[in-house]
């Protein structure tokens, strides 16, 4: 698609934490078919998904992605990388909701412009968004935005969206879907960490360390028990990031010293383990949309998945919660980041086909 027909808008929106803004990017073709929201993983940032987003946009989808709190530019200062602030997991869930609303707003503005047979660019979208009043709910915003009676048939203040999460983000999107599945067109679980029965102990340990050493203390012990355990299988490659992808070029691009190469705080690990525990706790699931299309994707050599049996257990858990439209695929010889493997377009195509199929089922 010609870049002139792609709209990209980068801004910041407020979170529920005082002084913390969320850095967000909305990207869309001129006439999007649906909205995809992406939630990235641990110790990375939204710009790492640029190539994937371009692929989605070229196939007709609008995309919204933010830097998770404690990541990228969603920090009050750089000392807060790996820190999820006071509201931890609950704040993370609220962020996903807020970014979804922002994406919905932008999507509907584009639809309104198309309804009027006009063309929108990034500057016009920025102008419209600058008038966004967070004291109003979406229905009030769109009512104020629209002066044409007929336009009420084209804007969707409660627009359903596709939700995609990678790694820690895959835990987050499942935790979000557990309470909000009626908001979604589909759910894609990428690079899923398999269930860890020690998650409860992990919460206890992280909070104990946080109590005695401070919430922002960076524990080498917890890192050794978690992230460094993934590295063991690939030590012969003499590259600590080898577990993420078999493609060294993409791995080298990952090692952004500020935005990727950092250890979580005790607060961050507590949030991670809480997400793990809640994601695999049946009592946390309130299923209202049993027909929701859900797809699990993973690399067969992803140490985070802990092998095909544990991967299938994660898929079966979702089915046991009552969902009946669940598919899964493991890609041979791929590792943790299937979006950043040498033949990643194969994965991209499968995702596109899944999204389009889910779109047609609504």
| Residue 288 forms part of a structural domain | yes
The reply to whether 133 falls in a domain is: yes
Report the pLDDT value the prediction gives residue 259, as an integer from 0 to 100. 86
What six digits make up the tokens of 291?
A: 């027909």
In a domain, 226, yes or no: no
Compute CA distances 229 → 280, 304, 331, whole Å: 21, 9, 22
pLDDT, position 116: 58
Which residues form the domain of 75?
3-195+284-361
pLDDT of residue 231: 85
User: What digits encode the pLDDT tens for the residues 117-151?
Assistant: 666 677 777 776 666 555 445 455 555 555 444 44
In a domain, 222, yes or no: no
HEC sequence for the chain: CCHHHEEEEEEEEECCCCCCEEEEEEEEECCCCEEEEEECCCCCCHHHHHHHHHHHHHCCEEEEEECCCCCCCCCCCHHHCCCCCCCHHHHHHHHHHHHHHHHHHHHHHHHHHHHCCCCCCHHHHHHHHCCCCCCCCHHHHHHHHCCCHHHHHCCCCCCCEEEEEECHHHHHHHHHHHHHHHHEEEEEEECCCCCCCCHHHHHHHHHHHHHHHCCCCCCHHHHHHCHHHHHHHHHHHCCCCCCCCCCHHHHHHHCCCCCCCCCCCHHHHHHHHHHHHHHCCHHHCCCCCCCCCEEEEEECCCCCCCCHHHHHHHHHHHHHCCCCCEEEEEECCCCCCHHHCCCHHHHHHHHHHHHHHHHHHC
Beta strand pairing status for 34-39 and 21-29?
unpaired
> Residue 126: what pLDDT?
72
- Whole-model pTM: value is 0.91
The answer to whether residue 134 sits within a structural domain is: yes
User: How many structural domains comprise the chain?
Assistant: 1
pLDDT of 252: 78
- pLDDT number for residue 143: 53
pLDDT digits (tens, 9 = 90+) for 94-112: 999 999 999 998 898 887 7
Residue ranges for the chain with pLDDT beneath 70? 1-4, 114-120, 128-158, 254-257, 362
Domain membership flag for residue 110: yes
pLDDT of amino acid 327: 97
Tell me whether residue 221 is in a domain.
Answer: no
Q: What percentage of the chain carries pLDDT values higher than 70?
A: 87
Asked if the structure places residue 279 within a domain, the reply is no
CATH number for the domain spanning 170: value is 3.40.50.1820
Query: Angle at the Cα of 141 (from 136 to 145), degrees rounded to 5?
Result: 150
């Amino acid at each position: 698609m010609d870049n002139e027909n792609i709209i990209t808008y980068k801004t910041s929106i407020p979170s529920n934490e005082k002084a913390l803004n969320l850095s967000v990017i909305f990207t869309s073709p001129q006439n999007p078919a649906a909205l995809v929201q992406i939630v990235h993983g641990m110790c990375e940032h939204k710009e790492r998904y640029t190539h994937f987003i371009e692929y989605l946009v070229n196939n007709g989808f609008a995309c919204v992605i933010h830097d998770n709190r404690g990541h990228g530019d969603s920090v009050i200062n750089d000392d807060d990388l790996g820190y999820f602030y006071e509201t931890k997991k609950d704040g993370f869930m609220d962020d996903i909701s807020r970014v979804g609303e922002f994406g919905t707003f932008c999507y509907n503005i584009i639809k309104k412009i198309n309804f009027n047979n006009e063309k929108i660019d990034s500057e016009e979208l920025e102008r419209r968004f600058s008038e966004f009043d967070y004291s109003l709910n979406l229905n009030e915003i769109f009512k104020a935005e629209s002066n044409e009676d007929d336009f009420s048939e084209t804007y969707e203040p409660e627009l359903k969206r596709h939700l995609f999460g990678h790694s820690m983000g895959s835990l987050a999107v499942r935790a979000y879907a557990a309470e909000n599945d009626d908001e979604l067109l589909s759910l894609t679980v990428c690079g899923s960490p398999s269930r860890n029965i020690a998650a409860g102990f992990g919460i206890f340990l992280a909070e104990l360390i946080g109590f005695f050493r401070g919430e922002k203390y960076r524990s080498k012990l917890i890192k050794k028990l978690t992230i460094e355990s993934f590295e063991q299988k690939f030590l012969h490659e003499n590259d600590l990031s080898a577990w993420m992808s078999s493609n060294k070029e993409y791995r080298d691009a990952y090692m952004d010293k500020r935005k990727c190469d950092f250890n979580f705080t005790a607060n961050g690990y507590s949030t991670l383990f809480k997400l793990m525990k809640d994601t695999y706790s049946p009592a946390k699931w309130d299923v209202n949309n049993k027909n929701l299309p859900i797809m699990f994707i993973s690399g067969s050599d992803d140490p985070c998945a802990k092998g095909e049996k544990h991967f299938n257990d994660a898929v079966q858990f979702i089915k046991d919660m009552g969902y009946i439209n669940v598919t899964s695929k493991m890609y041979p010889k791929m590792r943790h980041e299937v979006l950043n493997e040498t033949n990643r377009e194969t994965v991209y195509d499968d995702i596109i086909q899944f999204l389009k199929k889910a779109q047609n089922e609504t």
